[in-house]
Amino acid sequence: MRTVTGRCGQSDAVEDSGSTNSEDGLCHEALRAENAAFHATGGVSRNNRAAGFLPGYCNITTGEAVVSCFADGSPSPVHLLEGLPDAWVAERDASGGVRQTVPMVVAGFIRDGSFYTREAAARFLERDDSAR
């Protein structure tokens, strides 16, 4: 069983996510689309890792946030669906891989125990850069 590593607020995660999964849940294609939309910002792992952001997910129904993991439970450097808690998975393929999450799962980042949406992480890094 995976350990919850943070908390997220429903209003922040829903209104600020830039997520493409509002009705159907996240899938691999949705994650690729989000990465493309945020490619030049702090809303992707390669651009925010040095600031201490870890790829993660928030379940806005429960308020739980978890770090993205491989299927074996070890932390992943990017957003993967394979290590999500079983209750967050809506559909699996024939080999057990995650095809889609439940609708209320949002991709983002965890930093110091708090969940940041992609948009919030991008804004955080913009403010940090402008303060230098």
DSSP 75: B
Place of tokens 């996510």: 17
Query: Cα 15 to the chain's mean position, in Å?
Result: 14
- Do 31 and 81 touch, CB atoms closer than 8 A? yes
The CA-atom distances, in angstroms, between 48 and each of 18, 22, 80, 94, 118 are 17, 24, 17, 34, 10
Tokens of 53: 């952001």
Q: Mind listing the pLDDT tens digit for each residue in 64-120?
A: 999 999 999 999 999 999 999 999 999 999 999 999 999 999 999 999 999 999 999
Q: Mind listing the pLDDT tens digit for each residue in 7-20?
A: 776 545 544 545 54
